[in-house]
Structure 1
Amino acid sequence: MANTLNNFQKDEDDSINGVLTDREEIFIDDKEFEKKLLRKMDLRIVPLLALLCFLSYLDRINIGNAKLDHIEDDIGLVGNQFNICLSIFFVGYILFEIPSNLILIKTSPSIWIPSTMVAWGIVMTLMSFVNNFSGLMSARFFLGACESGLFPGVIYFITRWYKRSEQNFRIALFTVGNSLSGSFSGLLAYCILRLGGKLSLKGWQWLFLIEGVSTVIVAAFTYFLLSDYPENTKWLSDKERKFATERLKNDAGKAHIIQFDKKQLLAALKDWKVYMAMLHLCILSVPFYSFTLFLPTIVNGLGFDYVISQLLSVPPFFCASMSTLTVAILSDRMRVRGPFIITCSSIGIVDYILLGIPSSNIAVKYVGTCIVGVGIFPCLATSIAWLTNNVGGHVKRGIAAAMLFMSGNLGGIIASQIYRPKDAPRYLFGHLLATAFLVTATCISILQYFLFKNINKKKRENPQSFLEGKSEEQIKNMGDLHPDFIYSL
């Protein structure tokens, strides 16, 4: 595997060098200055983004903890109504992702992202007072609609600050907020649910109330802490602003298009790469979301009571976090995406099979839940980076990111239905479906890799064929279709 990855790295190093051949390499040799700038950017940007992601995911998945505190009985849910409430969240999310990123592109991150946080924090707070099925349905729909501005918006934001070879690690740090929130949610829920009975509120009501108010408070500070883009950031010096801007231009080569252009929007809607990435993430999101939403339920099905199940939800998410960061670092250093996705999803497949095999050994099955997270979570961040690396032009990339997350949330709708109450405690149906989706996602990753590799070969061997019959204006706006832009593998 190591030798194979080294070969992939060599191919990608050549491709990165190819991007820079026709551009003036401003500051490109000042590696020490660039390292200091990256450290400064990371300290100011990444921790805040990780916190926002942490809160977003905490508010999204805490309903799984509320289920163990008997929210279904308290508000009169019957049959499959709880799973329907999980699904409706993704409907709201999907409907508003592209409009949200269009607003972000036309306004600024420091205004739009905190505003979406305030909105979903208020919805989360009010959700603590729902008392029937329709109330919970409405709250979950609007929670999804309000949260839709964060994930695709932050991915777009990261691509406006970091080069392609730097993005996976930063996206991973951001998405680690997902796994940490899953890990922390069990521990936090265990503490908060003990407030049940105080002020005549149930434990799950305290859970929604405290986490919703916390989001609103953090959002108020985010208005002042979140920056916009390198070219207009006050905490960078003039030289740093110029360096940060020029290095992104050098990285994108002739695919660097920054102005808002409707043609770039249409280019995203017509690009096969975007739709293949959407299909991949949609399928990959089924095991990912089913794992995050139902982990406490799956652990509970192993024979533990609901309190212990909350606590035992922590280690699998912690393992997933460490795996995500490790894979992201290696992926950025070696400048490859596909091989890591293929390897990690294969690990997930093996361990879902382990979960599905009838066995009385609870310890083995619990270890299996930890390793499933190790395999699935790195795939998500790396898949996102793979698409953003291969789309040129800021507007096109912003729309592509929104479309990608739309498909991911379609997978979330499916995921919320596969762990059915009637399948307890083994949940064999859910495990088998998750395995099948992971196998399919792996096959799509392999196909993507070879398609990109083949196009890169054509761009190197016959670049003129990509330019024939096009005017100077058309060539200027080709973006990632330009032969100078070599796709990340």
Structure 2
Amino acid sequence: MANILNNFQKDEEGSINGVLTDREEIFIDDKELEKKLLRKMDFRIVPLLTFLYLLSFLDRVNIGNAKVAHIEDDIGLIGSQFNICLSIFFVGYILFEIPSNLILIKSSPSIWIPTTMVAWGIVMTLMAFVKNFSELMLARFFLGVCESGLFPGVIYFITRWYKRSEQNFRIALFTVGNSFAGSFSGLLAYCILRLLGGKLNLKGWQWLFLVEGVVTIIVAILAYFLISDYPEKTKWLSDEERRFATERLKNDAGKAHVIQFDKKQLFAALKDWKVYLAMLQLCTLSIPIYSFSLFLPTIVNGLGFDYVTSQLLSVPPFLCASMSTLTVAILSDRKLVRGPFIIMCSSFGIVGYILLGIPSSGVAVKYIGTCIVGIGIFPCLATSIAWLTNNIGGHVKRGIAAAMILMSGNLGGIIASQIYRPKDAPYYLFGHLLTATFLIIANFISILQYFLFKNINKKKRENPQSFLEGRSEEKIKNMGDLHPDFIYSL
């Protein structure tokens, strides 16, 4: 065993089984080069991904604006049919997340991501012409199928470019697109309804779907030329920068660095308890996030505002959510701590839902409650995703784990679609209390994860040999995050 631990063979890149040579350590410690590289990466990667996700989330939640613009009456929806149309989107999304990430891993981001965008842009455009419940159901299902390639694909993509200590802020910048989409959705809906509603014999909600679908298709075509692949292949980095970008990720992962495609990594993700606990956590967090995004115009409308004013008043809570998401991500990356921030933010969200749920509170207090909910729940999304990706070694395992956790998040979306029921209008007490309950559950899961990781880290530091006993040298090289040198983020 001592021979296995102390005698490492050199790999193809010139490093010692994940341990850098002196020459490479000097290279990796070039802070000026790293700052220059990060600036270039942030400029070329993050704004584009954020904009793509903004379009994705905009196309996903604009049905909430269409509801306020009377789509239900115009196509004859009755009872809970509208909520069913919300839910069916997530069925399509869930079914194709893992297959989509497998295609991405085997192909390239510059081809697969724009292709999925073109597909969902076409579906969104055609949704403007649905005439009944069945057609809307079909359109929403295929919208979910087509959009399933973006979110898990981009999360995987970010982990192929950034170190663990840099991921939460970049994921937050990306996911902040959903809160910007929420605010922009209300503003855009207001403008479209005012300017185009009734033109060419089309309803306001039809113009909403048409405009947003066509914009998505145009952006998708441009994305074929703008999205990069991975550091070792991209053309806008110099040879020195490409090598540096690759080596610093190897150094960050240490002995958990595994780059080749291996089916064993796929099954490792399917068998890892960390993934399933993270899935349960994100599912419970996604329920308030999705319900808030889908129903905020309806909730505000229930406070006594007309449907156009409700679109405008849905903007500030989402702006508050955006600022909160970025602030928490910066602090979380600086400390490389995830769990405590999730616990703190979800607790803040619970307070907001309590304000919304108090029957005697006035309109102003309830509206402030919506802002507090946004501030609390949205940072949890990026931080919980970063917590999982930080604690998974091997890019294939990480890609599958990312798809699995986001699959559970969309399962939460199905539940969220049914929470704010028409019969509970205008106060929606049932919805507010149920979402607060899910946040409480998410809090307990976060606390459990924190102490489990802390306990395993303690064992890895105190008795690393116990993790290696009975394993061959080849198996030790491919342990990934199970290796005792890989310390979990808390």
Give the TM-score normalised by structure 1. 0.95
Equivalence for 1:234: 235
Where in structure 2 are the equivalents of 1:174-193 lying within 5 Å? 174-193=174-193
Equivalence for 2:69: 69
Residue 307 of structure 2 is aligned to residue 302 of structure 1: no
- Residue deviations 1:105-150, cap 9 Å, x none? 0000000000000000000000000000000000000000000000
The letter of the residue matching 1:248 is L
8 Å contact from structure 1 (residues 255, 478) kept in 2: yes
Equivalence for 2:127: 127
Alpha-carbon distance between aligned partners in 1 of 2:459 and 2:171, rounded to the nearest angstrom: 30
CA apart distance, 1:23: 3.4
The letter of the residue matching 2:97 is E
The letter of the residue matching 2:376 is G
Structure 1: give runs of 5+ residues left out of the alignment: 1-19
Equivalence for 1:112: 112
8 Å contact from structure 1 (residues 26, 246) kept in 2: no
The letter of the residue matching 1:476 is K
Equivalence for 2:253: 252
Alpha-carbon distance between aligned partners in 2 of 1:155 and 1:81, rounded to the nearest angstrom: 33
CA apart distance, 1:266: 0.3
Where in structure 2 are the equivalents of 1:92-241 lying within 5 Å? 92-194=92-194, 195-241=196-242
Residue 41 of structure 2 is aligned to residue 23 of structure 1: no
Where in structure 2 are the equivalents of 1:335-346 lying within 5 Å? 335-346=336-347
Alpha-carbon distance between aligned partners in 2 of 1:254 and 1:204, rounded to the nearest angstrom: 53
Alpha-carbon distance between aligned partners in 2 of 1:453 and 1:310, rounded to the nearest angstrom: 45
The letter of the residue matching 2:206 is Q
Equivalence for 1:15: none
The letter of the residue matching 1:71 is I
SS of the equivalent of 2:131 reads: coil
Equivalence for 1:45: 45
Where in structure 2 are the equivalents of 1:324-343 lying within 5 Å? 324-343=325-344
Alpha-carbon distance between aligned partners in 1 of 2:18 and 2:298, rounded to the nearest angstrom: 54
Alpha-carbon distance between aligned partners in 2 of 1:21 and 1:353, rounded to the nearest angstrom: 50
Alpha-carbon distance between aligned partners in 2 of 1:466 and 1:23, rounded to the nearest angstrom: 22
Alpha-carbon distance between aligned partners in 2 of 1:411 and 1:114, rounded to the nearest angstrom: 26
Where in structure 2 are the equivalents of 1:407-486 lying within 5 Å? 407-486=408-487
8 Å contact from structure 1 (residues 127, 136) kept in 2: yes
Runs of 4+ off more than 3 Å: 20-24
Alpha-carbon distance between aligned partners in 2 of 1:26 and 1:261, rounded to the nearest angstrom: 31
Equivalence for 1:6: none
The letter of the residue matching 1:246 is E
Identity of aligned residues (%): 85
The letter of the residue matching 1:351 is G
The letter of the residue matching 1:287 is P
Residue 384 of structure 2 is aligned to residue 383 of structure 1: yes
CA apart distance, 1:333: 0.6
SS of the equivalent of 2:416 reads: helix
- Residue deviations 1:437-460, cap 9 Å, x none? 000000000000000000000000
8 Å contact from structure 2 (residues 18, 251) kept in 1: no
Alpha-carbon distance between aligned partners in 1 of 2:324 and 2:456, rounded to the nearest angstrom: 31
Alpha-carbon distance between aligned partners in 2 of 1:360 and 1:279, rounded to the nearest angstrom: 33
CA apart distance, 1:28: 2.4
CA apart distance, 1:358: 1.1
8 Å contact from structure 1 (residues 26, 247) kept in 2: no
Alpha-carbon distance between aligned partners in 2 of 1:113 and 1:40, rounded to the nearest angstrom: 21
Structure 2: give runs of 5+ residues left out of the alignment: 1-16
The letter of the residue matching 2:48 is L
Alpha-carbon distance between aligned partners in 1 of 2:26 and 2:132, rounded to the nearest angstrom: 61
The letter of the residue matching 1:472 is E
Give the TM-score normalised by structure 2. 0.95
CA apart distance, 1:26: 5.0
Alpha-carbon distance between aligned partners in 1 of 2:343 and 2:464, rounded to the nearest angstrom: 30
Q: State how many pairs are aligned.
A: 470
CA apart distance, 1:33: 1.1
Alpha-carbon distance between aligned partners in 2 of 1:284 and 1:388, rounded to the nearest angstrom: 17
8 Å contact from structure 2 (residues 287, 415) kept in 1: yes
CA apart distance, 1:473: 1.2
The letter of the residue matching 2:212 is E
Equivalence for 2:350: 349
8 Å contact from structure 2 (residues 97, 407) kept in 1: yes
The letter of the residue matching 2:448 is L
The letter of the residue matching 1:121 is G
Equivalence for 1:278: 279
8 Å contact from structure 2 (residues 18, 255) kept in 1: no
SS of the equivalent of 2:28 reads: coil
CA apart distance, 1:29: 1.8
The letter of the residue matching 2:302 is G
Alpha-carbon distance between aligned partners in 2 of 1:334 and 1:360, rounded to the nearest angstrom: 38
Equivalence for 2:313: 312
Alpha-carbon distance between aligned partners in 2 of 1:65 and 1:465, rounded to the nearest angstrom: 56
The letter of the residue matching 2:383 is T
